[in-house]
Amino acid sequence: MTESQTRSTADVVILGAGPAGLVLGNLLQDSGVDCVVLERAERAHVQTRARAGFLAANTVRILERHGLAEGLRRRGQAHSTCEFRTADGRFRLDYSGLGHGERHTVYPQQELVTDLLTRFLAVGGRIGFGVEAVAVLDADTDRPSVTVRDADGRPGTWRARYVAGCDGRHGAARRSLPAGSVRRHHCDHGVTWLGLLAEAPPSLDAVGYAVHERGFAGHMARTSEITRYYVQCERGTAAGSWSEERIWDELDLRMRGAEYGPLHRGRVVQRTVVDLDSDVLEPLRHGSLFLAGDAAGLVSPSAAKGANLAVLAAEILAEGLTDALLRDNSAALDAYSARCLAYIWRAQEFSHWMIRLLHGPTGSDETSLFHNSLRHSRITSLRTSRSHQDWFAEHYVGV
């Protein structure tokens, strides 16, 4: 960082250069709002961090509306089919013909982040890499500040009119909220996934969800050479503890490769252990500090909503900040929290439904057997009921 170290004021200080922070930065910059993005990591790290891939139709519309969709239009792949594999056989849902008839665009998050970053810098956006926000101070006044330290540990302070906390679940924005100012709703779903990226072409032309007595397995295409897999594992499993052979054997077994064709194997290049939990902060504002994206609420990745909610929140927040700063009208900013929370809870509800569709209790006690029979009935309903399929499609691809 050069200029931003010497000039440490901005009307809006944005913490975090993920999808939320970068969409917000681009929109504010386009509106002529003075802003800066502070990002703890180095640029190369931000541009190569592989996470999400499924963008909802509304996310694409938002990005298009603001001229941020050029890369995903060129390189993203339309996607509209998912396949469920169970002990009763398999069935496919083409959700572009169900619900509102919408599709996903598969576009790796790191490419979206790279596009947003390149565009932000091209239009003169200010960003500091290797700058960690330590705390947000005086958020209950109209002169908040952010204390920072750079990669060499040198401290600094940014003064602002508003601070946008887009720095994820473990960021400084959440940490700076005074006790009792915001309520945190939390749910641990008691399920753990080993998330994998494999240097292997997709094995089916659909998102694959395998419901198996040994646990869940999932298949999600990313590119023609890279596929994301998930395999449910015991809580407490270390990311490196399964050999590649065990991973592929287990995936093949649960995806029922013997019946439907073996998976294309390849080198596993990334492993992440994900304990499925969800949280929502309420309200998403404390004075001059606003929360967006994962900082506002964490949706378990079962329904691929996190990045989509981040983009949506950024658009809503940009509108509120622009009105407040340039038109002296704070109505949209005052409505920000309630508007976003309505979307967040809707996504949480669907994600929770997906978790209960894809995972059942492992025990053989009466309650476990009861819940597994309920789950079986739920899957049968999804396979056979058109109205259930319409409901699924609307929520699966919508945000």
The residues assigned a catalytic role are 79, 209, 301, 305, 396
Q: Which two tokens stand for residue 273?
A: 């252990």
**CB of residue 88 vs ligand RFL: minimum separation in angstroms?**
27
107: nearest Cα among 46, 49, 52, 65: 52
**Cα 171 to Cα 309: distance, rounded to the nearest angstrom:** 17
Q: Which of 26, 33, 54, 192 binds ligand RFL (CB under 6 A)?
A: 54
Q: Which of 1, 72, 166, 207 binds ligand RFL (CB under 6 A)?
A: 166
Q: Which of 13, 15, 276, 355 binds ligand RFL (CB under 6 A)?
A: 15
Q: Which two tokens stand for residue 22?
A: 């970068």
Name the residue nearer to ligand RFL (CB basis): 172 or 231. Answer: 172
Query: Rule CB under 6 A: which of 346-385 touch ligand RFL?
Result: none
106 belongs to the binding site for ligand RFL (CB under 6 A): no
**Cα 170 to Cα 173: distance, rounded to the nearest angstrom:** 8
125 belongs to the binding site for ligand RFL (CB under 6 A): no
With contacts defined by CB under 6 A, name the span among 37-45, 275-283, 341-349, 369-377 that binds ligand RFL: 37-45
Residue 153: partners with Cβ closer than 8 Å, 6 or more residues away: none
The DSSP bridge pattern shows strands 183-199 and 227-233 to be antiparallel
310 belongs to the binding site for ligand RFL (CB under 6 A): yes
251 belongs to the binding site for ligand RFL (CB under 6 A): no
DSSP, residue by residue, 178-211: PTTSSEEEEEEEEEEEEEEEEES--SSSSEEEE-
Q: How far from 332 is each of 122, 149, 285, 347, 352, CA to CA, in Å?
A: 28, 33, 13, 22, 30
Q: Which of 194, 221, 304, 357 binds ligand RFL (CB under 6 A)?
A: 304
**CB of residue 340 vs ligand RFL: minimum separation in angstroms?**
12
171 belongs to the binding site for ligand RFL (CB under 6 A): yes
Q: Which two tokens stand for residue 133?
A: 């926000």
Q: Which two tokens stand for residue 307?
A: 């990045």
Site string for ligand RFL, 326-345 (x = CB under 6 A): --------------------
**CB of residue 331 vs ligand RFL: minimum separation in angstroms?**
25
Q: Which of 115, 167, 279, 315 binds ligand RFL (CB under 6 A)?
A: 167
Phi, psi of 32 (to 5 degrees): 85, 20
**Cα 175 to Cα 135: distance, rounded to the nearest angstrom:** 7
Q: Which of 25, 144, 195, 297 binds ligand RFL (CB under 6 A)?
A: 195
Check: CB of residue 82 under 8 Å from CB of residue 379: no
Binding residues for ligand RFL, total number by CB under 6 A? 36
Name the residue nearer to ligand RFL (CB basis): 133 or 256. Answer: 133
Q: Which two tokens stand for residue 205?
A: 């032309």
Q: Which amino acid is at 7?
A: R
Name the residue nearer to ligand RFL (CB basis): 346 or 371. Answer: 346
172 belongs to the binding site for ligand RFL (CB under 6 A): yes
**CB of residue 135 vs ligand RFL: minimum separation in angstroms?**
9
Q: Which amino acid is at 281?
A: L
> Residue 261: left if φ>0, alpha if ψ -120 to 50, beta else—which one?
left
Interface residue list for ligand RFL (CB under 6 A): 15-21, 38-41, 46, 51-54, 109, 132-133, 166-168, 171-172, 195, 272, 274, 293-294, 301, 304-308, 310
